[in-house]
Amino acid sequence: MGNEALTQLSATELAARIARGDISSVEALEAHITRIEQVNPALNAVVVKRYDAARSEAQAADERRARGEPLPPLHGVPITVKECLDLAGTPSTFGIQALARKPAAEDGVYVARMRQAGAIVLGKTNVAQALLYIESDNPVYGRTNNPWNLARTSGGSSGGEGAIIAAGGSPLGIGTDIGGSLRVPATFNGIVSLKPTKGRMSDPGRYSIPLGERAIVSQIGALARTTDDVALAIETLNGGRAPAVEPPMPLGDMATVDVARLRVAYYADDGTLAVSPAVRRAVIEAAGMLAGRGAQVLEWRPPDVLHAVDIFYGLLSSDGGATLSGILRGGQKDPRIAQLLTLASAPAPMLASVRGLLRATGQKRTLEVARNFGQRRTADYWRLVEAQMAYQQRFLDALDRDDGGPFDVIIAPACAVPAFPHGASKDLLTAGGYEVLYNLLGYPAGVVPVTRVRADEESSRKRSGDRVERAARAAEQGSAGLPIGVQVVARPWREHVALAAMRAIEEDARKRDDFPASPPL
């Protein structure tokens, strides 16, 4: 096979062909290195390369196969990993200059599991500084561009992964998610991702949200071009279907899920930021695909998402930005981070003035975020945790008791807008509550591509003096052709149910002319 054909294969198919001897690991590796070198100058997605080491590992993989040794599930398959995850001999900077000269002594546990499964790491991919924005840009490595439109972001904070996988430079990658960092790059780049249940694969990183903040915990997850690849990666990251860990964390098999028996809730408006026309259409069409397979599908509205968003921001900003300020002291700050820290650390009287100004100037959406900043006492943090627990129960009650329930799966927007122009994340911090809701709840949530924006549906948003609404409208203008995915959510510890629904949607969406199969790059 030619290099181009090899880089269009899924990780699952590459593993099968390498195991059969149809292709070698060296051939698969070289094809992806060639592709990275073709597209990365335009994308700046792969920021740490380890080609020589990877070539040696691929050669050793082919030798093991030739000797007839047992082969692990990802034997000889090239992958990439998010820059913040420890890979022996390379730095994990989080986009922070002070960490650039500190290579990791050993692989992190999840990188190690991928390598033990036979995967060969080509390199590491770009991130948002401190992993805090849904746009991958930082003072260490610069900006990553979207392969569908270089003038737009690939998302964040796992944006480098999203861009290089979509462009064919890597079939599979791993990243992290505390507020949409896997799911936003997936929808912006037209690929698949999954964030597991809170506590299944907790992110050990220390240079983003304070490690001691345990109410909302970043999770390790996977990105790929197919649901089957994401499922394989999640099983690998989990340590197997039934890993020998305490407490036990068995992972279900999506093949056992009968989609026709699922009860599905869907919504295209959570009461925060209204979605683009293409996003609404994608949600409705994805719900229809499941209905077409026999699932019981009903339109639904999650309870008081704006309140959930308040809790989310309140919890994550409870230290007033003190931890992050200490990490970044003396180094260059991304302008968006600097603005956030100024707001988070401002004295109470100044914050009150800022809120008053935002209210007086009609900046409703910015106020919805800013009202949650300000350093809190320990007792305030405990009350927020209690509010989180109360909301989690309220949400579960709605899933169980609302008309049409109890629901097994939720179909929702992955982001309110398509991939937006570079720099817009300054105003579009999360583009609504669509992603962060499921970090607050701790539910497993994935994204699967469905469609692309049509020329006649770029925007129906009215002109507004609100800067968030203005930024959303600007993101929608000129968005024709960009990919749109939907978010698929399941109950805690039922990742396999979400994956089964995602696979069904993917199979039906791929039959359509507007499926975002491959970017033009």
Task: Express each pLDDT in 221-234 by its tens digit.
Answer: 999 999 999 999 99
Q: Which of 43-52, 262-271, 372-381 has the lowest mean pLDDT?
A: 372-381
**Rounded mean pLDDT of 147-162?**
98
Between the alpha carbon of residue 447 and those of residues 26, 168, 279, 508, the distances in Å are 31, 18, 13, 15
Instruction: Determine which one of 181, 193, 276, 318 is catalytic.
Output: 181
**Rounded mean pLDDT of 269-277?**
96
d(CA 228, CA 407): 24
**pLDDT at residue number 371:** 76
**Rounded mean pLDDT of 291-308?**
98
Delimit the CATH 3.90.1300.10 region(s) of the chain.
Answer: 3-307+383-509
pLDDT digits 0-9 by tens, 118-147 = 999 999 999 999 999 999 999 999 999 999
Q: Which residue has the tokens 């002070």?
A: 98
pLDDT of 365 > 80? The answer is: no
pLDDT digits 0-9 by tens, 455-487 = 999 999 999 999 999 999 999 999 999 999 999
pTM score above 0.95:
yes
**pLDDT at residue number 205:** 83
Averaging pLDDT over each range in 218-232, 326-340, 428-442, which range is the top one? 218-232
Contact 136, 96 (CB under 8 A): no
DSSP summary character for residue 424? G
56 backbone dihedrals φ, ψ, rounded to 5°:
-65, -40
d(CA 124, CA 89): 12
State the chain's mean pLDDT as an integer. 95
**pLDDT at residue number 240:** 97
265 backbone dihedrals φ, ψ, rounded to 5°:
-105, 145
Domain 3-307+383-509, CATH: 3.90.1300.10
82 is catalytic: yes
Between the alpha carbon of residue 516 and those of residues 134, 326, 510, the distances in Å are 21, 42, 8
Q: How confident is the model at residue 372 (pLDDT cuts 50, 70, 90)?
A: confident
Q: How confident is the model at residue 367 (pLDDT cuts 50, 70, 90)?
A: low
**pLDDT at residue number 33:** 98
Instruction: Determine which one of 10, 24, 25, 82 is catalytic.
Output: 82
pLDDT of 424 > 70? The answer is: yes
d(CA 25, CA 75): 8
Closest residue by Cα to residue 214 from 449, 14, 468, 439: 439
**Rounded mean pLDDT of 490-511?**
98
Between the alpha carbon of residue 210 and those of residues 204, 241, 327, 389, the distances in Å are 11, 30, 10, 20
208 is catalytic: no
The percentage of residues in the chain with a pLDDT greater than 70, rounded to a whole number, is 99
**pLDDT at residue number 354:** 66
Amino acid at 120: I
Residue 179: count other Cβ atoms within 10 Å of its Cβ.
Answer: 27
pLDDT of 401 > 70? The answer is: yes
Token digits of residue 432? 């609504």
DSSP summary character for residue 209? S
157 is catalytic: yes
Token digits of residue 20? 């059969």
The percentage of residues in the chain with a pLDDT greater than 90, rounded to a whole number, is 86
- Report the alpha-carbon angle 469-474-477, nearest 5: 130
